[in-house]
Amino acid sequence: MAEREQKRKPAPAREVEEVADAPVTSETGEKLKADIDDLLDEIDEVLETNAEDFVRSYVQKGGE
């Protein structure tokens, strides 16, 4: 309980929606991008023919 209290901060006076989204990509992201070149080459090779049409016409019925 004590820890929980410590972690909590008072709510901002107004809306919490205002907080800006910092992109996930950081320095590590930059480093990973170097490794991703091979993967992107491979993706180019296996990408569905007419991939954009396929995704456009991809319609499912709701389920569950």
Residue with tokens 């993706």: 43
Task: Bin 50: left if φ > 0, else alpha if -120 < ψ < 50, else beta.
Answer: left
Check binding of 39 to other proteins (CB under 8 A).
Answer: yes
Write the single-letter amino acid at 54: F
20 binds other proteins (CB under 8 A): yes
- Judged by CB under 8 A, the chain residues 41 through 60 that form the site for other proteins are 42-43, 46-48, 51-52, 54-56, 58-60
* Radius of gyration for the chain, computed over Cα atoms and rounded to the nearest angstrom: 22
Interface with other proteins (CB under 8 A): 1, 3-4, 7-12, 16, 19-26, 28-29, 32-33, 36-37, 39-40, 42-43, 46-48, 51-52, 54-56, 58-64
